[in-house]
Chains A and B, each alone.
Chain A
Amino acid sequence: MAQEPVLAVESLRVEFATGDAPPVVAVSDMSFEVHRGETLCIVGESGCGKSLTALSILRLLPRPYGRIGAGRVLLDGRDLTTVSEAEIRAVRGRAISMIFQEPMTSLNPVLTVGRQIAETVMVHEGLSWQDCMDRALEMLRQVRIPEPERRLHEYPHQLSGGMRQRVMIAMALACRPRVLLADEPTTALDVTIQAQILDLIRDLQQETGAAVVLITHDLGVVAEMAQRVLVMYAGSKVEEGSVEEIFDAPSHPYTRGLMAAMPHLGGGRGKRLNEIPGVVPALDARPPGCAFAPRCMQAVARCHAEAPPLVQIGGTHTVACWAHGQGARA
């Protein structure tokens, strides 16, 4: 794309400090870009580092040990990893918003939903409290919550899970962010509610032109929502491409494994990606070569010894596997 990306992550490394020992690396050499109005889906098994990648964009890694070890996060060209605390706070909830997986626990139980939405507006736009509450009401309408006037003054425990996730979305979009990070926003919800929430995100994205990074382990969601797809395995990107490239020509054995594990494209929502034999290696026990090699049917000696680089195999299609690119012919 000729246009400049809204958000670009470059060679990001996320690590956990472990006292005197060298830090444990949870995410390494992660790079991607998202453009205005575009949806990038990040997929991968549980524990592969999807949430950490998203959290590090807003510098919200778990305290006190999580930290960004290397790399840059560029919002319109400005590196967020080096700005001051006050500057990153001004970005959070305003330029970049985040929605979390657990709508049941992600809202504050002792504050009304109206107050929680209005607070975001107040902090960033400095409007009067009445104006902020008006905005909160307008947002509840936008996310299609019935009887918004009443809900505004209710507490999270008075709402269903689907409604709470709508409130989270209302809160995230209240300041019209340019980037929305949605970390498995529908995993905790019923199938029918899932579809409604995804529709809502897509509609609001079309209205606002926000770039969306949607984290999921559900290829059904990917097929429905994504323009671009990034496949992660054990803290690294193993394949990236447009949704067509990935679904038409999945090139990493792990991606193919995910596809095979999915019963029907678009129909297998909510299914965990756990049908590939074997388990993801622990953070401190990742093998020296390709992290997927121990579970890979096609692995050869080189895969166990040396990590494959990302190589381009199509228009915007890259993959990290010795079976492709120069590696395959060498």
Chain B
Amino acid sequence: MWSYVARRVLATLPVMGVVAVIVFLMLRLSPGDPAAIIAGDHATSEDIAQIRERLGLDRSLAEQFVWWLGQLLSGDLGTSIYLDRPVLGLILERVEPTLALSISTMTFAVALAIPMGVVAAWKAGSWIDQSIMALSVLAFSVPVFLIGYGLVIGFSLTLELLPVQGFVSLAEDPVGFARHLVLPTVALGLVYTALLARITRATMLETLNEDYIRTARAKGLAEPRVLILHALKNASVPIVTTIGTGLALLIGGVVVTESVFAVPGIGRLTIDAVLQRDYPVIQGVILVIAGVYVLVNLAIDLAYSLLDPRIRY
């Protein structure tokens, strides 16, 4: 098992290498002079030269790459041009809101969707199944920002139960932290709930037709045990994949929700960096998000081997 983990971790290194090269080339090969774009319309040629030197753009491509990679390996993602602060620090500051929102969204979706999907498959064709599936189509087809504004108008502005926007750190105020997370979590979570409920239903339907489910019933097991231990465990590989990819997408894609709810997370950082053409920040964010994707994928693979003994280490 441990050698399998080690092998899988090593296998992620080439992927990260390719990402690093692409991120590097992205800035260097983008049309026009990056330094001039960064400097803006009113910059003097001295300003531009200064920026070019700061970014190392006056050296050869190979030289630049080696230098940049060296920085990267020592944990230095560069300095924000606009804010003049280290990129890594900026990202870490924004990681808490983004991670908190992504994880709470997925937890919400999993807690709701798996029981829904299991029951729908178990009672396939019944009115319960049909209503669960109808709800999931609805949740899937309403845009997130619409649900978001609807929730804000309902729960914040009208009922005044929850804050309209913003984020409070967990360390600062746990209750405020939770209260601020509720609406964005629901807004973002409904789509994932719908997706996950459908995947769960489909894989459970297939699993419930397997011979070993009949065996489990023939042994005299009660339905909850048949459904959860015997069926859900077998159906879990596609479900875990969906949860994992969902989480990765969330971390990379909370941009919309973060701007609706004014959460100062990675999404906001990215939008601001793009608007301000803060190239080092953009690079850093891409690298970090790619890293998270790779890690999540690794976690999914490791989960497979725990869930299904037939997957060889």
Decide if A123 is an interface residue (CB 8 Å cutoff). Answer: yes
A278 to chain B, nearest CB (A): 31
Whether A93 touches B214, Cβ cut-off 8 Å, given contacts A64-B125, A109-B234, is: no
- The answer to whether A110 and B309 have CB atoms under 8 Å apart is yes
- The answer to whether A110 and B221 have CB atoms under 8 Å apart is no
- The answer to whether A100 and B219 have CB atoms under 8 Å apart is no
- The answer to whether B230 and A124 have CB atoms under 8 Å apart is no
Using Cβ atoms and an 8 Å threshold, which residues of chain A touch B216? 108
- The answer to whether A60 and B220 have CB atoms under 8 Å apart is no
Among B125, B215, B230, B233, the one with the most A-chain Cβ atoms within 10 Å of its Cβ is B215
- The answer to whether A106 and B310 have CB atoms under 8 Å apart is no
- The answer to whether B310 and A124 have CB atoms under 8 Å apart is no
Using Cβ atoms and an 8 Å threshold, which residues of chain B touch A171? 215, 219
Decide if B66 is an interface residue (CB 8 Å cutoff). Answer: no
B-contact 0/1 string along A19-33, CB 8 Å cutoff? 000000000000000
Whether A108 touches B215, Cβ cut-off 8 Å, given contacts A93-B220, A155-B310, is: yes
A-contact 0/1 string along B123-160, CB 8 Å cutoff? 01100000000000000000000000000000000000
Whether A106 touches B211, Cβ cut-off 8 Å, given contacts A155-B310, A157-B310, is: yes
Report the Cα distance A107→B309, complex, angstroms: 13
Report the Cα distance A155→B311, complex, angstroms: 12
Whether A60 touches B309, Cβ cut-off 8 Å, given contacts A105-B212, A106-B211, is: no
- The answer to whether A109 and B220 have CB atoms under 8 Å apart is no
B-contact 0/1 string along A67-104, CB 8 Å cutoff? 00000000000000000000001111110011010100
- The answer to whether A107 and B220 have CB atoms under 8 Å apart is no
Decide if A245 is an interface residue (CB 8 Å cutoff). Answer: no
Whether A109 touches B219, Cβ cut-off 8 Å, given contacts A100-B211, A100-B214, is: no
Decide if B307 is an interface residue (CB 8 Å cutoff). Answer: yes
Report the Cα distance A157→B310, complex, angstroms: 7
Decide if A39 is an interface residue (CB 8 Å cutoff). Answer: no
Chain B interface, DSSP helix/strand/loop, else mixed: helix
Decide if B53 is an interface residue (CB 8 Å cutoff). Answer: no
Report the Cα distance A124→B219, complex, angstroms: 9
Near A by CB (< 8 A), chain B positions 265-310 give 307-310
Decide if A187 is an interface residue (CB 8 Å cutoff). Answer: no
Look across to chain A and name the residue whose beta carbon is closest to the beta carbon of B219: A93
- The answer to whether B233 and A94 have CB atoms under 8 Å apart is no
Decide if A119 is an interface residue (CB 8 Å cutoff). Answer: yes
A28 to chain B, nearest CB (A): 23
B-contact 0/1 string along A228-240, CB 8 Å cutoff? 0000000000000
- The answer to whether A123 and B210 have CB atoms under 8 Å apart is no
Report the Cα distance A120→B215, complex, angstroms: 11
Whether A110 touches B220, Cβ cut-off 8 Å, given contacts A60-B214, A100-B215, is: no
A87 to chain B, nearest CB (A): 11
- Point out the residue from B125, B212, B218, B307 that lies within 8 Å of A108, measured CB to CB: B212
Whether A119 touches B219, Cβ cut-off 8 Å, given contacts A106-B212, A109-B212, is: yes
Report the Cα distance A98→B214, complex, angstroms: 10
Decide if A58 is an interface residue (CB 8 Å cutoff). Answer: yes
Report the Cα distance A97→B221, complex, angstroms: 12
- Point out the residue from B211, B219, B234 that lies within 8 Å of A123, measured CB to CB: B219
- Point out the residue from B210, B218, B308, B310 that lies within 8 Å of A92, measured CB to CB: B218
Using Cβ atoms and an 8 Å threshold, which residues of chain B touch A110? 233-234, 307-310
Report the Cα distance A108→B227, complex, angstroms: 12
Whether A60 touches B217, Cβ cut-off 8 Å, given contacts A108-B230, A109-B310, A110-B234, is: yes
- Point out the residue from B220, B225, B309 that lies within 8 Å of A90, measured CB to CB: B220
- The answer to whether A105 and B219 have CB atoms under 8 Å apart is no
Decide if B73 is an interface residue (CB 8 Å cutoff). Answer: no
Decide if B222 is an interface residue (CB 8 Å cutoff). Answer: yes
Using Cβ atoms and an 8 Å threshold, which residues of chain B touch A111? 229-230, 233
- Point out the residue from B124, B210, B212, B220 that lies within 8 Å of A120, measured CB to CB: B220
A-contact 0/1 string along B239-270, CB 8 Å cutoff? 00000000000000000000000000000000
Report the Cα distance A168→B125, complex, angstroms: 32
Look across to chain A and name the residue whose beta carbon is closest to the beta carbon of B230: A108
Using Cβ atoms and an 8 Å threshold, which residues of chain A touch B229? 111
Whether A97 touches B218, Cβ cut-off 8 Å, given contacts A157-B309, A157-B310, is: yes
A165 to chain B, nearest CB (A): 12
Among B212, B219, B230, the one with the most A-chain Cβ atoms within 10 Å of its Cβ is B219
Whether A60 touches B211, Cβ cut-off 8 Å, given contacts A108-B230, A110-B308, is: no
- The answer to whether A93 and B210 have CB atoms under 8 Å apart is no
- Point out the residue from A92, A102, A157 that lies within 8 Å of B219, measured CB to CB: A92
Those 4 A-B pairs whose CB atoms lie nearest each other, nearest first: A92-B220, A93-B220, A93-B219, A105-B211
Contacts A108-B212, A119-B221 supplied; 11 other A-B pairs, CB < 8 Å: A60-B217, A89-B220, A92-B218, A102-B211, A107-B212, A110-B233, A110-B234, A110-B308, A111-B229, A123-B221, A123-B222
- A selection of 25 A-B contacts at a CB cut-off of 8 Å is A60-B217, A60-B218, A64-B124, A64-B125, A89-B221, A91-B220, A92-B218, A92-B220, A93-B220, A100-B211, A105-B211, A106-B214, A107-B212, A107-B215, A109-B212, A110-B308, A110-B309, A110-B310, A123-B219, A123-B220, A123-B222, A157-B309, A168-B215, A171-B215, A171-B219
